Amino acid sequence: MRRYALPLALVLAGMAWLLATHGFAHGRSEGGLLGLIALGIAAAGILRPETAMEVEALAPLIAIVGCDGSGKSTLSADMLARLGDKGRVASCYLGLGSGDLGERIKRWPLVGRAVEARLARKAAQARSAEARIPGLPTALVIFGFSLLRRRRFKKMLALRRQGVAVITDRYPQIEVPGFYDGPGLSAAKPGNAFIAWLARRERRMYEWMASFRPDVVIRLNIDLETAHLRKPDHKLASLAAKVEVTPKLRFNGAPIVDLDSRRPYAEMRDAAMRVASSAAPQMSAAA
């Protein structure tokens, strides 16, 4: 039953999303059906929090973090290509992919832009400490994305247990809720007891993931002007918040090496390769 937990939860979250957009188009109330969905989740017992694991020997992990536009994805892919032996080194994406999903929704005929704008407003409300999480549909969708992150994280752990060193694009953290790969339901106030329960389960999930400290975190620093120049489609306020938070994250005490992503890319890449070789000899051997 446990192997079906994630797909079932994602389906339920997707149903909530569809119901929310359907209600937007037709003005109908979905409260009763959403209540049944919530009860189904609880009855199935699929939201069990992860438990702390004993210390185990794992292959090296290097996490690449930074604001949008700092070059995380490009650098992780380039480092993997240069390290060569893909049987010993792998790259894993630990983000949500919600931005790409929003862009796909925008391309829906007729209603795409309106639906995406409504979902973006609800997501922004969920990130505000002064606001309330805007209803059960939004909470289920956010929780569904967190389950997707946990599945990616478990796949990454499986590689490390097999002796494969890993480079990650992004890494979960619990210091800043609501965005920047933190728990999505811990920033705004829950609207009811069930959403509060979901938020507690989600936070435990993130605490479990964050308990696995990377061997080193490569933090790519960038200023707001450069980030917006590279990502002109991103909201300026969102980029500003990420630029401000980036130097404050500590990732559970993991060693952190700061690189300036405004430098010529080749210089930044070579510096990152030296960090990898120093922190993870296995990667040096593969290069």
Out of 43-52, 189-198, 240-249, which region has the weakest mean confidence (pLDDT)? 43-52
Query: What number is the average pLDDT over the span 275-286?
Result: 72
What pLDDT, in 10s, does the model give residues 7-22? 445 445 454 454 445 4
200 or 135: which leads in pLDDT: 200
Q: Count Cα neighbours of 242 within 13 Å in the Cβ-side half-sphere.
A: 28
What's the CA gap between 219 and 216, in Å, rounded? 9
Query: What number is the average pLDDT over the span 84-99?
Result: 78
Q: Which residues pair with 216 in a beta bridge?
A: 62
Confidence at residue 50, expressed as pLDDT on a 0 to 100 scale: 62
Give me the residue label for tokens 């609800």: 122
- Residue 29 predicted with pLDDT over 90: no
* Residue among 119, 127, 149 nearest 16 (CA): 119
Query: What number is the average pLDDT over the span 130-159?
Result: 90
**Distance of alpha carbon 115 from the chain centroid:** 22
What's the CA gap between 135 and 126, in Å, rounded? 10
Which pLDDT band, with edges at 50, 70 and 90, does 168 fall under? very high
What's the CA gap between 127 and 189, in Å, rounded? 10
Confidence at residue 132, expressed as pLDDT on a 0 to 100 scale: 83
CB 148 within 8 A of CB 184: no
* Residue among 89, 48, 100, 131 nearest 280 (CA): 89
Amino acid at 30: E
Q: What residues contact 183, with CB distance under 8 A and at least 6 apart? A: 146, 174, 177, 199, 202, 203, 205, 206
Confidence at residue 36, expressed as pLDDT on a 0 to 100 scale: 47
- Residue 69 predicted with pLDDT over 60: yes
Fold of 58-286: Rossmann fold (3.40.50)
- Residue 46 predicted with pLDDT over 90: no
Confidence at residue 127, expressed as pLDDT on a 0 to 100 scale: 73
CA distances from 229 to 64, 65, 191, 237 (A): 21, 19, 37, 14
Backbone angles phi, psi at 189, to 5 degrees: -80, 135
User: CA Rg, the chain, in Å?
Assistant: 20
